[in-house]
Amino acid sequence: GMESDGAWDCFRFLELQDELVCKIIMLLEPKVVARCCALSQRIRSLACRDDVWEPLCHERSYKQRSASRTRGFRPWMEIYIAHLCGECLKPGGVVLNPDLDCSTQAVLCFACFNEVAKRN
């Protein structure tokens, strides 16, 4: 078979239309999306769009807090990131201090929570 040149593949990816790039980004693991953001300013802006992150949040039942007059809705990417484990960056399952605002909550996945519990 023909060998692929990674740089050429990247260049062809960058030539795709925005909507197609967004659909591809939505299929990637969030860690890979973060790496893709280093490719170009265009990819970074596409990767931050709410229509990329909102379905991921809904899949995992991550919700927006209600918006207020002074604070609108947060970008869905921020909502997703706020739910990642603080230790390993996998989706978290244990929210420490759940009554606080999302930005001050500590989130751990079950594996990291169990490790911390063993230490204490």
- Pick left, alpha or beta for residue 89 (phi over 0 → left; psi -120 to 50 → alpha; otherwise beta): left
Say what percent of the chain tops pLDDT 90. 5
pTM value > 0.75: no
Contact 80, 62 (CB under 8 A): yes
- Average pLDDT of the chain is 78
**pLDDT tens digits, one per residue of 23-51:** 888 888 877 887 777 878 888 899 889 98
**pLDDT band at residue 96 under the 50/70/90 scheme:** confident
The pLDDT of residue 74 is above 70: yes
Average pLDDT over residues 102-119: 79
- So what's the pLDDT on residue 14? 77
- So what's the pLDDT on residue 105? 67
Q: For residue 96, what is the enclosing H or E element?
A: strand 94-96
